[in-house]
Amino acid sequence: MEPIFIQLAIILSVAFIVCYLIKLLKQPIIIGYIIAGIIIGPFILALGASTELINVFSEFGIAFLLFIVGLHLNPRIIKEIGTASLFIGLGQMVLTFGLGFGISLLLNFSLITSVYVGIALAFSSTIIIMKLLSDKQHLDSLYGKIAIGVLIIQDLVAIGVLMFISSFSGAMISKDLALQNILIGVGLIVFLFLCGFYILPRLTKNIAKHQELLFLFSIFWCFLIATLFGYIGFSIEIGALVAGIVLSFSPYSIEISSKVRPLRDFFLIIFFIILGLNVPLLNLGSVIFNALILSAAVIIFKPIILMFFSSLFRYTKRTNFLVGTTLAQISEFSLIVLLLGVSVGQLSTEILHTLTLTLVITIFVSTYMITNSKTLYSKLYKFASLFERKKVRRERNLINKYTTVLFGYNRIGYSILRSLKKAKEKYLVVDFNPDTITDLERFGIPCLYGDVDDPELLRELPLDKLKMAISTVPDFETNLLLIESIKMENPDAIIVVRAHSIREAMKLYEEGANYVLTPHFLGGEYVAKMIRESKTRKLEYREEKKKHIKLLQEIEKKGHEHPEVERN
Residue-wise pLDDT for 380-416, tens only, equals: 888 888 887 766 655 444 456 788 888 888 767 777 7
Q: 175-184, 257-266, 293-302, 510-519: lowest mean pLDDT where?
A: 175-184
Sheet order of strands, 404-407 included: 447-449, 427-431, 404-407, 468-471, 494-498, 515-517
Q: 333-337, 357-361, 376-380, 529-533: lowest mean pLDDT where?
A: 529-533
Exposure letters 529-551 (e unless 16+ CB within 10 A, then b): ebbbebbbeeebbeebeeebeee
Kindly state the helix (H) or strand (E) to which residue 548 belongs, with its residue range. Answer: helix 538-557
How many Å apart are CA 216 and CA 207, to the nearest integer?
Answer: 10
The per-residue pLDDT of the chain, averaged, comes to: 78
Confidence of residue 565 (pLDDT cuts 50, 70, 90): very low
Confidence of residue 92 (pLDDT cuts 50, 70, 90): very high
**Those residues with Cβ within 8 angstroms of residue 104's Cβ, 6 or more apart along the chain or in another chain:** 113, 114, 117, 118
**pLDDT score at 326:** 92
How many Å apart are CA 51 and CA 191, to the nearest integer?
Answer: 37
Kindly state the helix (H) or strand (E) to which residue 382 belongs, with its residue range. Answer: helix 373-384
Please check the confidence at residue 169 and state whether its pLDDT lies above 60.
no
The mean per-residue pLDDT over the stretch 213-236 comes to 83
**Are residues 100 and 301 in contact, defined by beta-carbon separation less than 8 angstroms?**
no
More confident residue, 437 or 526: 437
More confident residue, 27 or 306: 306
Torsion sign across C-alpha atoms 499, 504, 506, 511: negative
**pLDDT score at 568:** 39
Look at domain 396-557 and name its CATH class: alpha beta
Where are the domain boundaries for CATH 3.40.50.720 in the chain? 396-557
Where are the domain boundaries for CATH 1.20.1530.20 in the chain? 50-387
Residue-wise pLDDT for 77-90, tens only, equals: 555 556 788 899 99
Percent of the chain with pLDDT over 70: 79
Q: Domain 50-387 classified CATH 1.20.1530.20?
A: yes
Residue-wise pLDDT for 114-133, tens only, equals: 999 999 999 998 778 877 88
How many Å apart are CA 265 and CA 261, to the nearest integer?
Answer: 6
Torsion sign across C-alpha atoms 404, 405, 408, 409: positive
For the entire predicted model, the pTM comes to 0.70
How many Å apart are CA 59 and CA 244, to the nearest integer?
Answer: 16
Torsion sign across C-alpha atoms 362, 364, 370, 372: negative
Please check the confidence at residue 276 and state whether its pLDDT lies above 70.
no
Q: Which of 340, 354, 336 is nearest to 100 (CA)?
A: 354
